[in-house]
């Protein structure tokens, strides 16, 4: 196989993968709208609440710990440089805007990818290997409806909540630094942070969380549905889901940041 053939096949494969993600996203959105606690899909609602506990509640300590450490690191590093220019007060602005716009959603997404995205892919892949997905199709149940829709709704509900918790943890950690470096009380620090944050900062962080959550669920499920082989295939699908999710989340982060920069200033 020549170099150009290899590049062409790889490009076709990537385009086909993006197309499969788009089709799965549309089908998952249609089924997710129908999930409610009072209709015929009460079982989907129960599965969704269980997924919310798995994705959100059990990921909360890790997200808060990582975000808090990141906020403290940012405050220390920026304070070391801003001290040279006598602008230590700018640490409040830097930590608040960076955590709200960028680092809060990104850290929450990466933690959820490592903890829940890999689990989603492994669960779906195991169902494919053990022929549970084929059994669902034999009973005229769409796997997208039974497997993906509850996970999708749970992720859309919990990742913004994790983002808010992560942002608050990072900002509080920055407040610890300003308390010792600037003699700024926590109340004054939070008040100044609230003054410098704009509606655009909060909305952009929450929109990113929704986009990242969609990517994590759909990539994990698609990798699981496409698994081939036995246990080795499950491992490959899990690894592929984590790697592709991180890559697509970073790419989506760039697109969202550029959009808000150029169209909402």
Helix axes 90-98, 149-182, angle to 10 degrees: 170
Buried b (16+ CB within 10 A) or exposed e, 176-197: ebbeeeeebeeeebbebbeeeb
Helices (H), the chain: 3-33, 42-52, 60-82, 90-98, 104-112, 118-129, 132-138, 143, 149-182, 186-196, 199-225, 231-263
Residue 189 near residue 71, CB atoms below 8 Å? no
d(CA 130, CA 33): 29
Q: What is the pLDDT along the chain (265 residues), one digit of tens a residue?
A: 677 778 788 888 888 888 888 888 888 888 877 766 555 556 577 788 888 888 888 899 999 999 999 999 988 888 877 777 777 778 888 888 999 989 999 999 999 999 888 899 998 998 888 888 888 888 888 888 888 888 898 999 999 999 999 999 999 998 888 888 777 788 888 888 888 888 888 999 999 999 999 999 999 999 988 888 777 888 888 998 999 999 999 999 999 999 988 887 6
Q: Which domain holds residue 58?
A: 3-263
Buried b / exposed e along 53-73 (16+ C-beta atoms within 10 A): ebbbeebbebbbebbbebbbe
- Would you mind telling me the total number of residues written for the chain in this entry? 265
Q: What is the dihedral of CA 164, 165, 171, 173, to 10 degrees?
A: -170
The pLDDT value recorded for residue 46 is 78
Q: Which pTM was predicted?
A: 0.90
At residue 42, the pLDDT reads: 60
Side-chain-side CA neighbours of residue 183 (13 Å): 0
> Counting Cβ atoms within 10 Å, is residue 103 exposed (0-12), middle (13-18) or buried (19+)?
buried
How many domains is the chain partitioned into structurally?
A: 1
Tell me what pLDDT residue 265 has. Answer: 67
The phi and psi torsions of 47 (rounded to 5 degrees) equal: -65, -35
């Amino acid at each position: 196989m020549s170099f150009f053939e290899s590049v062409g096949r790889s490009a076709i494969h990537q385009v086909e993968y993006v197309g499969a993600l788009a089709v799965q996203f549309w089908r998952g959105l249609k089924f997710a709208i129908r999930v409610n606690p009072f209709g015929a899909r009460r079982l989907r609602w129960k599965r969704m609440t269980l997924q919310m506990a798995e994705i959100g509640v059990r990921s909360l300590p890790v997200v808060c710990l990582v975000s808090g450490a990141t906020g403290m690191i940012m405050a220390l590093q920026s304070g070391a440089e801003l001290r040279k220019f006598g602008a230590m007060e700018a640490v409040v602005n830097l930590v608040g805007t960076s955590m709200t716009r960028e680092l809060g959603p990104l850290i929450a997404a990466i933690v959820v990818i490592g903890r829940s995205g890999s689990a989603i892919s492994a669960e779906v892949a195991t169902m494919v290997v053990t022929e549970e997905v084929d059994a669902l199709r034999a009973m005229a149940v769409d796997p997208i409806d039974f497997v993906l829709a509850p996970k999708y709704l749970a992720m859309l509900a919990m990742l913004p909540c994790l983002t808010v918790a992560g942002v608050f943890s990072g900002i509080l950690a920055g407040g610890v630094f300003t308390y010792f470096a600037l003699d700024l009380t926590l109340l004054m620090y939070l008040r100044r942070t609230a003054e410098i944050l704009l509606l655009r900062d909060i909305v952009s962080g929450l929109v990113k969380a929704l986009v990242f959550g969609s990517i994590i669920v759909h990539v994990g499920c698609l990798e699981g549905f496409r698994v081939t082989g036995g246990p080795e295939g499950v491992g490959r699908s899990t690894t592929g889901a984590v790697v592709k999710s991180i890559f697509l989340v970073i790419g989506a982060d760039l697109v969202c940041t550029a959009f808000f920069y150029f169209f909402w200033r």
